[in-house]
């Protein structure tokens, strides 16, 4: 079993746009960066990426769009309604296979890879007063599992199945973005939330500073049952206020995805500028510390875009 170390560090229901970066007077190309909810990790990293592209790629206009995250992003890419998107590795795999239950009515054959980036951690947090201490304690309690058919919600279903449980075991199931879930817990209207995100996600940080929390462990056996792309991982002690001990959980790699209609040169530049401006990404969120060109082309469930492939070959990484 591979364990991710502590050095390795995913969403709003309505689309929101924000124009970023230097916009030339006669810009002839456009990059729309598809992210997730504004309280997750995708959004700040996407905003940083859009700013980098706007400043570093000549002749482009950039925009960052808040979405329901992985599943919506991949469907938007297939339709050409975005140029680059953040998505969970299992969602990307399901999209490439055309898994209808995961939210893909047919195989999304236009998807192409830019880079494997940082891992998402399955983070289940409950209010201490709920009495939830281990996963089985969720029975009869209220839990938010993420926006419907989002990458987070797909992860939740897989974990419940692996442990021989289902949403029917819960007292109440909510399908809400990270920020809304946290607000309900603060207001004593929800017991717990499952969030698939980078470590230090803003929503859980906010909750941990508002009331006493319990980080709920996901047994290591779940990673063994589910297999790739899931890995056993640890949320290090002190990641959130009041978290005194390491918490075992699962992790899954996030991927930056584009589509086949994006030009080779544009995909090359999107890949190159990502890796050449990592300090700006880290400044936006610490999860970006795990992004590395050395691992960018590894473990992708879809073909690399020829432009990205060109970059990795230039760097001697393929």
The domains found in the chain, sorted by start residue, are: 16-118+255-314 (3.40.190.10), 120-252 (3.40.190.10)
How far are the Cα atoms of 85, 159, 163, 233, 247 from residue 140, in angstroms, in the given order? 36, 17, 16, 27, 23
Tokens representing 174 are 């909510």
Residue 159 exposure: Cα atoms within 13 Å on the Cβ side: 29
Tokens representing 167 are 């949403």
User: Considering only CA atoms, which of 259, 281, 305 is closest in space to residue 53?
Assistant: 281
According to the model, what pLDDT value does residue 230 have? Answer: 87
Per-residue DSSP letters for 111-155?
Answer: EEEEEEEEEEEEEEEEEGGGT--SGGGGTTSEEE--STTSHHHHH
163 secondary structure, DSSP code: T
Q: Is the pLDDT of residue 4 over 80?
A: no
Handedness of CA 206, 212, 217, 218 (dihedral sign): negative
Q: Is the pLDDT of residue 84 over 90?
A: yes
Beta strand 60-66 with 29-34: parallel, antiparallel or unpaired? parallel
| More confident: 39 or 290 | 290
At 87, is the secondary structure helix, strand, or coil?
Answer: strand
Query: Mean pLDDT score of the chain, rounded to an integer?
Result: 91
| More confident: 9 or 158 | 158
Q: Is the pLDDT of residue 163 over 50?
A: yes
Mean pLDDT of 11-27: 41
pLDDT tens-digit profile of 239-294?
999 999 999 999 999 999 999 999 999 999 999 999 999 999 999 999 999 999 99
Tokens representing 113 are 């890879």
Q: State the pLDDT confidence band at 22, using cuts at 50, 70 and 90.
A: very low
Q: What percent of the chain has pLDDT over 70?
A: 92
Distance CA 116, CA 297 (A): 6
Distance CA 254, CA 272 (A): 18
Q: State the pLDDT confidence band at 8, using cuts at 50, 70 and 90.
A: very low
Is residue 191 within 8 A of residue 127, CB to CB? The reply is: yes
Beta strand 29-34 with 142-144: parallel, antiparallel or unpaired? unpaired
Q: Is the pLDDT of residue 9 over 90?
A: no
pTM attached to this predicted model: 0.77
Q: Is the pLDDT of residue 25 over 60?
A: no
Q: State the pLDDT confidence band at 16, using cuts at 50, 70 and 90.
A: very low
In the chain the beta strands, taken as DSSP E runs, fall at: 16-20, 29-34, 60-66, 84-88, 111-127, 142-144, 172-174, 192-197, 213-216, 231-235, 247-259
Q: Rounded to a whole number, what is the largest CA-CA distance in the chain?
A: 59
Question: Which residue in this structure is represented by tokens 């691992």?
Answer: 295
Q: Is the pLDDT of residue 1 over 50?
A: no
Q: Is the pLDDT of residue 24 over 70?
A: no
According to the model, what pLDDT value does residue 28 have? Answer: 75
Beta strand 142-144 with 192-197: parallel, antiparallel or unpaired? parallel
165: number of Cβ within 10 Å: 15
User: Considering only CA atoms, which of 41, 85, 49, 115 is closest in space to residue 295?
Assistant: 115
According to the model, what pLDDT value does residue 23 have? Answer: 39
pLDDT tens-digit profile of 88-115?
999 999 999 999 988 999 999 999 999 9
According to the model, what pLDDT value does residue 26 have? Answer: 41
| More confident: 233 or 15 | 233
How far are the Cα atoms of 80, 87, 138, 173, 192 from residue 129, in angstroms, in the given order? 46, 34, 13, 19, 11
User: Considering only CA atoms, which of 187, 186, 234 is closest in space to residue 206?
Assistant: 186
């Amino acid at each position: 079993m591979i364990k991710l170390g502590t050095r390795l560090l995913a969403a709003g229901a309505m689309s929101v746009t924000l124009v970023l970066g230097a916009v030339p007077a006669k810009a002839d190309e456009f990059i729309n960066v598809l992210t997730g909810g504004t309280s997750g990790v995708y959004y700040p990293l996407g905003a940083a990426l859009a700013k980098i592209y706007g400043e570093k790629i000549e002749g482009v206009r950039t925009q960052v769009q808040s979405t329901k995250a992985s599943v919506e992003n991949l469907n938007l890419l297939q339709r050409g309604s975005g140029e680059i998107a953040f998505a969970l590795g299992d969602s990307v795999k399901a999209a490439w296979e055309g898994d209808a239950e995961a939210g893909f009515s047919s195989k999304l054959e236009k998807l192409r890879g830019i880079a494997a980036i940082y891992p998402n951690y399955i983070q289940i947090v409950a209010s201490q007063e709920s009495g939830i201490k281990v996963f089985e304690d969720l029975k009869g309690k209220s839990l938010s599992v993420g926006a419907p058919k989002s990458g987070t919600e797909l992860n939740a279903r897989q974990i419940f199945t692996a442990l021989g449980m289902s949403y029917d075991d819960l007292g109440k199931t909510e399908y809400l973005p990270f920020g809304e879930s946290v607000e309900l817990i603060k207001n004593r209207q929800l017991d717990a939330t499952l969030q698939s995100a980078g470590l230090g996600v803003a929503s859980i940080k906010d909750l941990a500073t508002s009331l006493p929390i319990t980080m709920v462990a996901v047994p290591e056996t779940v990673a063994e049952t589910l297999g790739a792309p899931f890995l056993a991982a640890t949320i290090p002690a002190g990641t959130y206020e009041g978290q005194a001990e390491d918490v075992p959980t699962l992790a899954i790699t996030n991927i930056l995805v584009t589509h086949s209609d994006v030009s080779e040169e544009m995909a090359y530049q999107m890949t190159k500028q990502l890796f050449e401006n990592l300090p700006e990404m880290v400044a936006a969120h610490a999860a970006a510390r795990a992004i590395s060109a050395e691992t960018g082309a590894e473990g992708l469930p879809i073909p690399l875009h020829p432009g990205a492939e060109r970059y990795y070959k230039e760097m001697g990484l393929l």
